[in-house]
Amino acid sequence: MDPFEPGSLGWLLPWAETGEGDVLSPDEALEVFLEWVEARGMELWPHQEDALMDLAVGDSVILGTPTGSGKSM
């Protein structure tokens, strides 16, 4: 599926701005995502940031937090 086709929300993804075929390293992907979050005036909750840092170094993550605590970000 083309992330830019009509009806797609793919254009909202922070990495949609990279060139076609670009492969980001985990560190680059984290940096792009954090810049994307900041540009939208959002702040990550501590558990979100911790999970992202763990993912960036290659760890597996299961995030178990209460409803409404920002797991979907």
CB count within 10 Å of CB 51 equals 19
Q: How far apart are CA 72 and CA 38, in angstroms?
A: 17
Stated pTM of the model = 0.62
Which tens digits make up the pLDDT trace of 4-31? 666 666 666 666 555 666 667 788 888 8
Structure tokens at 48: 């979100």
Mean pLDDT over all residues of the chain?
78
Whether 42 has a pLDDT exceeding 60, the answer reads yes
DSSP H or E segment with residue 11 = none
pLDDT score at 65: 87
pLDDT score at 70: 76
